[in-house]
């Protein structure tokens, strides 16, 4: 599944679960972003090691799976 298909599927689920008004409200909450994500990401990850990032990802996945 490519990113457009994922977006479409997500919108379908949101509309089914939240209704059209809820979907619109949800999409509005994400509005147009500000800043430069690429530059910000460089700052956030400046001192991070790949091993630590991998550990963080695994912990996040474990937390998601437990819910």
pLDDT, position 30: 80
Radius of gyration for the alpha carbons in the chain, expressed in angstroms and rounded:
17
What is the Cα–Cα distance from 9 to 1, expressed in whole angstroms? 10
What is the Cα–Cα distance from 1 to 11, expressed in whole angstroms? 15
pLDDT, position 17: 95
pLDDT for 7-61, tens place per residue?
899 999 999 999 999 998 988 888 767 788 889 888 988 888 999 989 999 999 8
């Amino acid at each position: 599944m490519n990113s457009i298909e994922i977006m479409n599927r997500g919108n379908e689920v949101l509309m089914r679960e939240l209704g059209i008004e809820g979907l619109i409200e949800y999409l509005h909450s994400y509005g147009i972003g500000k800043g430069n994500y690429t530059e910000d990401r460089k700052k956030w990850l400046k001192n991070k090691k790949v091993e630590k990032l991998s550990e963080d990802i695994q912990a996040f996945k474990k937390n998601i799976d437990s819910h």
